[in-house]
A and B are shown apart, each in its own frame.
Chain A
Amino acid sequence: MKLSSLAVPLLLAGTAVYAMTRKVDVYDALTAGAGDGLTIILRILPALVGLLTAVSMFRASGAMEWLTGLCSPLLSKLGVPAELMPLMLIRPISGNGALAVGSELIRTYGADSTVGRTAAVMLGSTETTFYTIAVYYGSAGIRRTRHTIPAAITADLAGFFASALAVRIFFPG
């Protein structure tokens, strides 16, 4: 039995038992939260229908290969599989777009492949930078964002390279 496969059931049981001792209605919380999850899915679905259509067309037309080939000399030097270039381009701009591109990569190359894993780690370790900046500064009434965007992009780039690095460390070969 591997530790990672134990983690999920242990976390489930541990949370439930701990919450029960704190007098939380565990089952009610679980179903309420699951309902929230469903609204997330319902919000993603329409965007994903449009975006996965575009991404599939993009791959079938050969444009994806062309883009990948264009970036591979640079990216392979940096240790990032070139297949991930489209994901890195769209990640800061659109959360749903990144989910569409990322899940298409995971589907095409396989969830347990290096490309699929790196795509998943990139999705999990970065955010929709420009959307976040717009939401925060829009409501706080900030017009001059100063070094926010360069610093945020630095974090994104670091996240991309770190994702490729982390996959190589944890899943060698």
Chain B
Amino acid sequence: MTVVWTGMVAVSVLFGALTGRLDAVASAALEGASAAVTLCISTAGVLCLWSGVMEIMRRCGLAEKLARAFRPLLRLLLPQACRDADTLASISANVSANLLGLGNAATPPGIRAAERMARGCGGVASDELCLLVVLNTASIQLIPATVAGVRAACGARAPFDILPAVWLASALSVTAGILAAKGMARVGLCVRRPRRQRRGAPVRRGAAL
């Protein structure tokens, strides 16, 4: 990020000097900094409200219900990892927390699942571990509260009217990720050493290695 930030500022000064807009650049710098604070304050309302609603949903067991509803689908996507009950529980907790937008709650079970799936793999990601991480890099949030807050702060008529569009885009993105991960695993892309995990081999091979 250091490179990105410094690069942007340096390029701005360079461009401003070339186009003779250095005055505008100077005032934009100050304006941008104060805009950040204003934006955060006006975003805070919507974000806090939704964080509160999500916390209610979590406490009344909605997240666990959601997690259970996703198990059949997860068994289909990650058949080997889901043979282990603890890994399955972690993965479904990870997915349901992601759906509810509870980023802080999603990461710990996701990492627990990843650690269990990585056991005995000698630092090489298995096909299913790749897929789990790809699922986490593709957002599957039902209610993107931060973005809605920013939209509210910028005077949107209905900050949440983008939800159907977000769901459609997320669904297409996740599907593309799953297809890409499955397809690349099948053609054996990015496998060079013969030590790769064989199809059908159990994940828990810790003792054997």
Contacts of A157 in B (CB 8 A): 176
Report A-chain residues with C-beta under 8 Å of the C-beta of B62: 15, 18
Q: How far in angstroms is the closest Cβ of chain A from B113?
A: 9
User: Taking A36-B51, A103-B150 as contacts, is the C-beta distance between A142 and B129 under 8 angstroms?
Assistant: yes
Whether A120 touches B150, Cβ cut-off 8 Å, given contacts A22-B60, A56-B35, A155-B174, is yes
Most buried by B among A48, A106, A133, A146: A146
Number of A interface residues in the complex (CB < 8 A)? 104
A interface secondary structure, majority: helix
A-contact bits for B140-175, CB 8 A (1 contact / 0 none): 010011111011011111111111111011101111
Partner of A146, one of B51, B53, B190: B190
Q: How far is the CB of A111 from chain B (nearest CB, A)?
A: 3
Q: How many A-B residue pairs have CB under 8 A?
A: 354
- Check if A158 is an interface residue, CB within 8 A of chain B: yes
Separation of A61 and B61 alpha carbons in the complex (Å): 51
Indicate if A93 sits at the interface (CB-CB under 8 A). Answer: yes
Query: What is the distance, in angstroms, from A132's C-beta to the closest C-beta of chain B?
Result: 5
B111 proximity list for chain A (CB < 8 A): 135-136, 139-140
**In the complex, chain A residues whose CB is within 8 Å of the CB of B59:** 19, 24-25, 29
> Closest chain A residue to B5 by CB distance?
A54
The answer to whether B48 and A148 touch across the interface, beta carbons within 8 angstroms, is no
* Binary contact track B95-117/A, C-beta < 8 Å → 1, others 0: 00000000010010011001101
- CB pair B134 A15 closer than 8 Å: no
The answer to whether A106 touches B130, judged by C-beta atoms less than 8 angstroms apart, is no
Binds A, one of B15-23, B67-75, B79-87, B198-206: B15-23
- Smallest distance from the beta carbon of A52 to chain B beta carbons, Å? 4
- Given A66-B15, A154-B180, A49 and B165 contact (CB-CB distance below 8 Å): no
Q: Is A173 in contact with chain B by the CB < 8 A criterion?
A: no
Partner of B55 from the list A36, A54, A135, A170 (CB cut-off 8 Å) is A36
- Are B163 and A4 closer than 8 Å at their CB atoms? yes
Instruction: Among A32, A61, A102, A140, point to the contact of B15 (Cβ < 8 A).
Output: A61
Q: Can you report 13 A-B residue pairs in the complex whose CB atoms are below 8 A from each other?
A: A4-B160, A40-B146, A58-B12, A60-B16, A61-B14, A102-B150, A122-B169, A136-B136, A139-B111, A143-B123, A152-B138, A155-B138, A167-B162
Q: Which 3 A-B pairs have the closest CB atoms?
A: A33-B55, A155-B177, A56-B32
Chain B residues within 8 Å of A, Cβ to Cβ = 1, 4-5, 8-9, 11-16, 19, 21, 24-25, 27-33, 35-37, 39-40, 43-44, 47-62, 104, 107, 110-111, 114-115, 117-118, 121, 123-125, 129-134, 136-139, 141, 144-148, 150-151, 153-166, 168-170, 172-177, 180-181, 184-185, 189-191
